Amino acid sequence: MRTVFWENNRVKMIDQRLLPGEFVIAEFATVAEVARSIQEMYVRGAPAIGATGAYGMALAAQNSAANDRDNLLDDLRTAKTILDNARPTAVNLSWATTRMLDLAEQTVLPNVDDLRSTLLHEAEALADEDVEINRRMGFNGAAVIPTDANILHHCNTGALATVDFGTALGVIFACQEQGKPIHVWVDETRPRLQGARLTAWELMRAEVPMHLIADNAAGHLMRTGKVDVVIFGADRVAANGDVANKIGTYKLGVVAKENGIPVYCVAPTSTVDLNLADGDQIPIEERGAEEVYQVGDTRIAPEGVPVYNPAFDITPHRYLTGIVTEEGICYPPFTQSLRQAKTAAEARIQRQRQARGSQ
């Protein structure tokens, strides 16, 4: 099933905070609740957050008491601000809410209920596109994975991080569909343990050969020749190819380069932010101390310990072999290849929107 979806005028999603112990579908009836679901990480992963933002905008339209277009647009602009503030690093969120608001502002229909329906259809289309995009990325990336490869993977980038299939884990699932033998080293990914809790859960359900490792074991595995390729996702990619991803990604890129191991970021073009020249301009979210000083309900550090908890780091583009997108693999110079991929993707989306409108 999908990670996030619309049902009975509610935004519904898998509560990822509870996995792997419990599988619970949470539902949210207001824009404020949807924003909270993003902030508190019921849903996580840039593409899944983007889809949630789009559904949040559709929900804002459904809940609005406006009887005319101008007042409905005002309510949508307010909703966009609330949703965009939920998490600052993942650009997919503002990309999706901007897409929804732009459509609303550009569409003139006989009554506001028609506009409400149009926005819901657009949110559903965005979710459907995410699944298609992920499969395209997965098979693009599978082409650079050697047979019998040992793949080092960081954080969680599977179906749980998207609407379905996944980004970097989508590459692994594509290899499996092709019958290509692989093995995955799964970083636990402190402090929220998305690798241990979520990636291990997804790979075991799919029967992909894997071992869970402590984050600090990654360098040892690379130095001793037990890693053939490193792959991970992204929450934002700057115009020059610098990547913001889950904290700990940067050191993997550095150590991989030291050991001559190829490194691929797997991210949809919606994650590429051409407005930011480099990664130093990407805002880095800082999260609560409790994520570090305790695991689950168990405290592992002294009372009152000072904590610094950045959720992401920046991997400079010089450590990347390539960036896998739905439009193909981008190679250096990334300033050119990413812009070309972004342009191709936007043209494809426009064609699909026109095709839906003609039906």
Domains 4-135 and 139-347 share a fold: no
Q: Could you read off the pLDDT of 315-350 as tens digits, one per residue?
A: 999 999 999 999 999 999 999 999 999 999 989 888
228 in catalytic set:
no
Predicted confidence at residue 11, as pLDDT, reads: 98
**pLDDT over 70 percentage in the chain:** 99
Catalytic residue among 215, 235, 242, 313: 235
All residues at 6 or more sequence positions from 192 whose CB lies less than 8 Å from its CB, including other chains: 41, 291
Tens of pLDDT, residue by residue over 165-214, are 999 999 999 999 999 999 999 999 999 999 999 999 999 999 999 999 99
272-294 burial: b if 16+ Cβ within 10 Å, else e? bbeebeebeebebbebeeebbbe
326: left (phi over 0), alpha (psi -120 to 50) or beta: alpha
Domain boundaries, the chain: 4-135, 139-347
CATH class of 4-135: mainly alpha
Mean pLDDT of 70-78: 97
Span 139-347: which CATH code?
3.40.50.10470
Q: What's the pLDDT band for 358 if we cut at 50, 70, 90?
A: low
Q: Is the pLDDT of residue 84 over 70?
A: yes
Question: 9 pLDDT band (50/70/90 cuts)?
Answer: very high
Q: Indicate if the pLDDT at residue 307 is higher than 70.
A: yes
